[in-house]
Amino acid sequence: MTGGILSSVFYRILATIPVIGFVALFVFLLLRLTPGDPALLIGGDMATGEDLERIRASLGLDRPIWSQFLLWSERVMAGDLGRSVFSGEQVTTLIAQRLEPTIALALTVVVFSVMTAVPLGVAAAWYAGSIIDRLLSVFAVLAFSVPVFLIGYFLIYEFSVKTELFPVHGYRALSEGIGPFLHHLVLPAVSLGLVYVALLARMTRSTMLEVLDQDYIRTARAKGLSGARVLFVHALRNAGGPIITTIGVGLTLLLGGVVVTESVFAIPGLGRLVVDSMLQRDYPVIQGTILFFSVLYLMINLAIDIGYVLLDPRIRK
Amino acid sequence: MTGAVQNTHLFDVQRKRPRLRRYFRWAVPSCAALVLLITAVLTLLSGCIAPFDPLEMHPLDRFMHPSEHYLLGTDNFGRDTFSRILHGGRVSLSVAFLVAIATSLLGIFLGVMAGYVRWLDGVLMRIMDGLMAIPGILLAIALMTVMEASLLTVVFAITITEIPRMTRLARAATLGVRNMLYIEAAVTVGTRFFPLLWRHILPNIAAPLLVQATFVAASAILLEAYLGFLGAGIPPEVPSWGNMIAQGRTFVQVSFGLVLYPSLLLAAVVLSINVLGDFLRDVLDPRMTGRK
């Protein structure tokens, strides 16, 4: 039995490696495809042809492209993402500085969404076809259609400019106290979270409908269990898997939305870092941040997959 | 399995309020189609209809409120917001249309190949997994930084971010039909590879892909606006909705309308496309109702 668990955990780790490899290759090629010669940038106008050759050799630019890729991958795996063209700082340092606001925002959104979307989805499935169900589907279509910045600016206008309930923008670190920290996160989390709530609630609803149609639910009802017990103990537990998977898969949507939300609310997180670097054409920073986001996403989903294998005996193959 | 539960519920409701249900079923998509039609006609004819040149500045009339003269007011250069919105619609609608076409062509081709040619499957799908691991907006931003900003490069960047989902869907649909008896029969009588794909596989997987194409169009409009908003879209001097919102957001506290009007219209168009997509899905395949 344990052998089965180990081998399927191993298989999942193995399956993630080529995907990470492709992301790395893509991100690497992105920098190589950028116009301009890095050696010329470093050498400046006064550099002679020989100087340029030397700089290229020191950067490894004279080698074939696959060898450059291997060299770069080695450095990345050692935790070296290069330096910012502008500030000269290590990209890893820049990412570390900007990490807290982004993680705080993303986590708040996930917690807020799970707490609202799961009950909503369960209610919509239990009372399928009812007014709750309809309202949910109307809300979902709306949330998928309204751009994040419209919700954001609307909330700012209503709750910051007009009534001054919440700050217009900015971020307070957790170290400055939990009160101001949460106070600054409410509006960004709500504007970013609505799409995520819609996604999760829809998924919860359709999974619950599927589960409620199973034989074991009929059995549970037939033996006279109360509705709530059937719903939460028997149905929700079995629907948990797909819901958690959606939380994981939806992270790309969330992390993408973070970029826009941080711009709307002037939060100094990773999303702002990408946008600022893009405006300055600071390629190493863009490259490093995208690689970081993607690997983070893949790792979280790998963890969810492995969690399944450990908890759900049906998936062990 | 899902269908059973849902259909009984729907059936109950239908029995109770048949007329109202049927009315709503058609009324909402009809409104959506009307919104799209009007927007399309207005933006296509923006050259004739717009009261002002979208780039014409009126330095004395900056930040004007909506009035008879300037229907939706003016921006920080005194440019007419209404005219700019009409012209900007061209960009959004072209992006939606072009991205939907390009994504469908490439995504369906790749997906059918992955679903039918087994040795291609592993490689292609790992690449798609890789592309899907990069958040869409970041992927589009990254592609835009290495290309000259223009309508076509924006379309290209958004297409790349949309292709994986289309490919996955086309692959799954192909896997669903590839073992059907009629495919086997076609192979047995010696149908060649491409005629087989074109005549036997494609028509049988077309419905969900068509629905997906509408969702791609909606999401393309949003992504174009996000790119414009972040300064990574088409050149800022072009009046697109995304660019207008990006420029207006500096003045949110002076004139909320600069952000509000273009985003409202944007939301209305995206909403209409999504509603039509849902409708199309219900009509083409009742089993898919309620899923996404």
Per-10-residue mean pLDDT for chain A, 317 residues long? 75 88 88 67 69 73 78 84 80 90 92 92 87 89 89 87 79 79 88 92 89 84 80 81 85 88 90 88 86 92 85 67
Of the segments A102-116, A299-313, B17-31, B37-51, which one has the largest average pLDDT value? A102-116
Give contacts of B256 with chain A, Cβ < 8 Å: 153, 157
pLDDT of residue B221: 93
| Residue B263 to residue B258: CA distance in whole angstroms | 9
Of the segments A37-46, B51-60, B228-237, which one has the largest average pLDDT value? B228-237
pLDDT of residue B262: 86
Considering CB atoms only, which of A35, A156, A278 is closest to B232? A278
Look at residue B20 and tell me whether its pLDDT is greater than 80. Answer: no
pLDDT of residue B3: 41
For residue B28, the chain A residue with the least C-alpha distance is A138
Of residues A100, A34, A39, the one with CA closest to residue A284: A34
pLDDT of residue A226: 77
Q: Do B291 and A275 touch (CB under 8 A)?
A: no
Q: Say whether residue B3 is in contact with chain A using an 8 A CB cutoff.
A: no
Coil/strand/helix, residue B43: helix
Burial B96-107 (b: 16+ CB within 10 A, else e): bebbbebbbebb
pLDDT of residue B245: 86
Identify from A132, A148, A195, A209 which residue to disrupt to test chain B contact, counting B C-beta atoms within 10 A and taking the largest count.
A209
B111 and B174 in contact (C-beta within 8 Å)? Answer: yes
Look at residue B68 and tell me whether its pLDDT is greater than 50. Answer: yes
pLDDT of residue A130: 84
Considering CB atoms only, which of B139, B141, B263 is closest to A147? B263
Residue-wise pLDDT tens digits, B171-193 = 999 998 888 888 888 888 888 88
Confidence of residue B7 (pLDDT cuts 50, 70, 90): very low
pLDDT of residue B95: 92
pLDDT of residue A316: 61
Confidence of residue B10 (pLDDT cuts 50, 70, 90): very low
Identify from A85, A135, A149, A207 which residue to disrupt to test chain B contact, counting B C-beta atoms within 10 A and taking the largest count.
A149
> How many C-alpha atoms does A141 have within 13 Å on its Cβ side?
22
- The stretch B210-222 carries a mean pLDDT of 92
* More confident: B1 or A102: A102
Give contacts of A137 with chain B, Cβ < 8 Å: 290
pLDDT of residue B11: 46
For residue B272, the chain A residue with the least C-alpha distance is A145
For residue B135, the chain A residue with the least C-alpha distance is A252
Q: Do A252 and B132 touch (CB under 8 A)?
A: yes
Q: H or E element: which one contains A221?
A: helix A215-222
Q: What is the mean pLDDT of chain B?
A: 82
- The stretch B127-148 carries a mean pLDDT of 89
Q: H or E element: which one contains B41?
A: helix B18-44
pTM, two decimal places: 0.86
| Residue A258 to residue A171: CA distance in whole angstroms | 14
Q: Do A141 and B232 touch (CB under 8 A)?
A: no
H helix intervals, A127-177? 131-145, 148-156
- The stretch B84-99 carries a mean pLDDT of 89
Q: Do A35 and B146 touch (CB under 8 A)?
A: yes
pLDDT of residue B272: 93
Q: Do A150 and B264 touch (CB under 8 A)?
A: yes
Considering CB atoms only, which of B2, B270, B292 is closest to A202? B292
For residue A293, the chain B residue with the least C-alpha distance is B134
Residue-wise pLDDT tens digits, B249-284 = 777 777 777 788 888 889 999 999 999 998 888 888
For residue A279, the chain B residue with the least C-alpha distance is B231
| Residue B114 to residue B110: CA distance in whole angstroms | 6
Considering CB atoms only, which of A34, A156, A256 is closest to B138? A256
A152 and A264 in contact (C-beta within 8 Å)? Answer: yes
H helix intervals, chain A? 2-32, 38-43, 49-59, 65-77, 91-126, 131-145, 148-156, 178-212, 215-222, 227-229, 236-249, 251-264, 270-280, 283-311
